[in-house]
Amino acid sequence: MPDTTDLQTVKPLKLIVVGNGMVGHKFIENVVNHPDHENYQVITFSEEPRLAYDRVQLSAYFSGKTADDLMLTSEDYYDQHGVKYIIKDKVSTIDRAAKTITTESGRVESYDKLILATGSFPFVPPIPGGDAEHCLVYRTIEDLERITASAKGSKVGVVIGGGLLGLECAKALHNLNLEAHVVEFAPRLMAVQLDEGGGALLRTKIEDLGVHVHTEKNTKEIVAGETCRYRMNFADGSHIETDMIVFSAGIRPQDELARQFDIAIGERGGITIDDNCLTSDKDIYAIGECALWDGKIFGLVAPGYTMAKAAVSHITGGSEQFTGADMSTKLKLMGVDVASIGDAHARTEGAQTYTYINDAEGIYKRLIVSADKSTLLGVVLVGDTDAYGTLLPMMLEKMQLPDAPEVLILPQVEGGASAFGVAALPDSALICSCHDVTKGDLIEAIHAGATELSELKSCTKAGTGCGGCSAMVGQVLNAELENMGMEVNNNLCEHFEYTRQELFDVIRTKKIKTFDELLEQYGSGHGCMTCKPAVGSMLATYWNEYVLSDDNIQLQDTNDIFLGNMQKDGTYSVVPRIAAGEISAQGLIDLGQIGVKYDLYTKITGGQRIDFFGAQLHELPLIWDELIQAGFETGHAYGKSLRTVKSCVGSTWCRYGMMDSVSMAINLEMRYKGLRSPHKFKLGVSGCTRECAEAQSKDFGVIATDKGWNLYVCGNGGMKPRHGDLFASDLDDATLIKYIDRILMFYCRTADRLQRTSVWMDNMEGGLDYLKSVVIDDKLGLCEDFETDMNRVIDTYECEWKKTLNNPERLKRFAHFINSDATDDRLAYEADRGQSKARIAQPSVRESKAKGEEIPALEV
């Protein structure tokens, strides 16, 4: 029997992680997933009352997510992996000689390696009065709770700081129904990420959403206000009154613990680290926003995750190091898409720039390339960031640019950014910077069995950080599945493993009437802003129930919630139905009197109806009450549904008219009014081939001939105008309506969400011929079902505004403030051509051009 008296049990290396934020947790995950994890004992301390949660998604807390929804880990997970955790206890002392730490509660723990993941804290400028009760910061869940509590007794809120977090906070205040302001010291918003042009467009878009932006403002003091709690006095002599102030003026590294115990600190703060994330003490590491590498603090989560990976590698004997990080980022700020890549300010010597501006669509793109135009150096995208996923790897991989680099940002150009899709990227291309996942990593996981997007995200972590790469991850998955000869996943979103068409069939066949019922039986999670409106539209298409019922209201966007299109100054449009543009003289008088009474800007539209603009939220029920009493009903200008049926005067008056186009247009509009569909749709009816109603540019165009009606389908105006295709000729009234019924219901069942009829048919295998076989020849045997479904929609129609006016509970939503009957007194108007119009605070790019200012459409 062997002698074992000299054998000793090897003790696990004891690792203490100070801070359990996103980066601290990522370090722990890397340790517990390491092949030799049993050789390490992990203890983590958090001074917050909970374990790690997703700070990147903090603003979602104001949109209904709970603290539990934001959690990145759980006590069960740590227990399962042998991780000890202590919350609500701050590490206050380090004894480097004894290798122990002590907490504020007096707890003492020894360590073999100490990892400082203490993060950062909000910078609060030393402004006199800045420590008042309702002067808050935006950093933790507890901060959000304080902001929510303060908002209940406030009307106006100001955010100091126009960076990423500041704009997220402004969105939160806006969502809390406050008059929101952003005050920024720099001359533009997001000055670090965006150039002047991108910042200007971002400002315009945010102001259009109703948030006031004040740049180049230095707050001198905060004093008592006259109309609000506080008055902010600026150095230039101007001021703002507000009830709440939230500081989001940047972050500072939380280096107090290291500084106190003689660990090297940078000149301007931050714990100095090397490529292994080691501090000046060989047994102490620093990672995340508290760490200073090469004189830089990295304020994004992705570099922190890379530091965590490097530190674990060094501790476990690996070779991975932290050698800096790309700070490119893709964001959605208050609904505005923004992206910044590389050298966004063209600081590289000899850099060439290309700028594309589309003022009408609110798009700004700037490309920065090397002096020889061979490689990409930087990109700024505002309003359209679809190319981000392609351009970022091109910059990181130093891929060869096309001979004309400008095609990468020009729309609808053959050989543009879309041509450089995922197939053109090398396997080394970094797809997810948060978790350091390359295209090759994704392909390897796909071949190992991760053939669903949720599986691919789960096993690689790609797309689970900031989420900016999710679309690219999906593109890699679909491309690789096609290469493998497998079916591509077209699920509606991660919460439903079904396409829109499949979900519509489930709703129809299983008689499902609510989102919650569908989610419980066929989905998972809580839903998102992709599936909720899509399911809401499908439910409305099939059941045609009141969109503001308790079950449906949670699914609607802003326009549908308030039954009116929100305008750029925060007011709403009022659009009564005027079928085929036909209106009596008395009807015109009634509309005119209502317009005068409420001082509304009035316009006859291209859809042959009268639109009112400038109605405040509280005025909407009052205006609609008078309109309904005058015999009008909602025009559904706010919904994804039928908008208008345009008509000429036809045979009633015109000497060329072949048939009564007005009567047909009225019949069609009254038949399809209120039908919810994947996208808005329009019709036109012309009384002869002279086409005065421009019917061929509509989703359904009807043109009279001497033999009957010709039906054109799937045309549209908009960004990509398209003439409709001739579907059938010489139709009588009944056959015309039957065909339109069938096509509309086939479209509602099978189109993707937000897909126009033109794109729907173009993407259909067999195109127009296949559509004819389904609708005319009944190839699928569904025509009777289509007609039955349409008749149910027609039979159950009711004016949404009329029903809302009879529902006192729903009318409570039409108030500016939840705690006051006060109206919005901050709107500014000016007289123009005899009407009141919203005063525009900042000139748009188009106005600047009109004044002769130099703003090139394409600048090289």
pLDDT band with cut points at 50, 70 and 90 for residue 790 = very high
For the segment 621-657, what is each residue's pLDDT rounded down to a tens digit? Answer: 999 999 999 999 999 988 899 999 999 999 888 888 8
Question: pLDDT band for position 293 (50/70/90)?
Answer: very high
CA gap 105, 108 in Å, rounded: 9
pLDDT number for residue 814: 83
Residue 469 is labelled as binding a ligand: no
Rg (C-alpha) for the chain, rounded Å, is 30
Q: What pLDDT digit, counting tens, does each position of 162-216 carry?
A: 988 888 888 889 888 899 999 999 999 988 888 888 888 889 888 988 899 999 9
Q: If you average pLDDT over residues 442-453, what whole number do you get? A: 85
Model confidence at 357: pLDDT above 80: yes
**Which of the residue ranges 451-460, 477-486, 609-618 has the most confident prediction, judged by mean pLDDT?**
609-618
Q: Report pLDDT digits (tens) over 110-120.
A: 999 999 999 99
φ, ψ of residue 405 in degrees (nearest 5): -55, -25
Number of helical (H) and strand (E) elements in the chain, helices listed first: 27, 38
What is the per-residue pLDDT for 859?
Answer: 30
pLDDT above 90 covers what percent of the chain? 48
Q: Report the pLDDT value the prediction gives residue 352, as an integer from 0 to 100.
A: 92
Question: Distance of CA 435 to CAs 120, 194, 294, 355, Å?
Answer: 20, 24, 21, 32
Q: Nearest to residue 232, comparing CAs of 251, 250, 212?
A: 212
* Torsion sign (Cα): 173, 174, 177, 178: positive
Contacts 24+ apart (CB under 8 A), 282-286: 283/96, 283/99, 283/111, 283/112, 283/113, 283/114, 284/94, 284/96, 284/113, 284/114, 284/115, 284/116, 284/258, 285/113, 285/114, 285/115, 285/116, 285/311, 285/314, 285/315, 286/115, 286/116, 286/117, 286/258
On the CB side of 455, CA atoms within 13 Å amount to 13
**pLDDT at residue number 111:** 97
Tell me: pLDDT of 730 over 90: yes
The domains found in the chain, sorted by start residue, are 13-121+253-315 (3.50.50.60), 124-249 (3.50.50.60), 425-489 (1.10.10.1100), 500-556 (no CATH)
Higher pLDDT, 484 or 760: 760
Tell me if 654 is assigned to a ligand binding site.
yes
Q: Region 77-86: what's the mean pLDDT?
A: 95
- State the residue for tokens 């509970």: 809
Which residue, chain included where needed, has tokens 């505004």? 801
| Mean pLDDT across the chain | 86
The pLDDT value recorded for residue 845 is: 38
For residue 408, what pLDDT is reported? 86
| 799 is an annotated ligand-binding site residue | no
Hey, how many other C-beta atoms are within 10 angstroms of the C-beta on 667?
Answer: 18
pLDDT value for 415: 45
Res 68 pLDDT > 70:
yes
Q: Which two tokens stand for residue 126?
A: 């030393």
Q: Give yes or no for residue 327 having a pLDDT over 50.
A: yes
Q: Determine the pLDDT at residue 856.
A: 37
pLDDT tier at 458, thresholds 50, 70, 90: confident
pLDDT of 279 above 90: yes
Q: Give the mean model confidence (pLDDT) for residues 281-287.
A: 97
pLDDT at position 229: 96
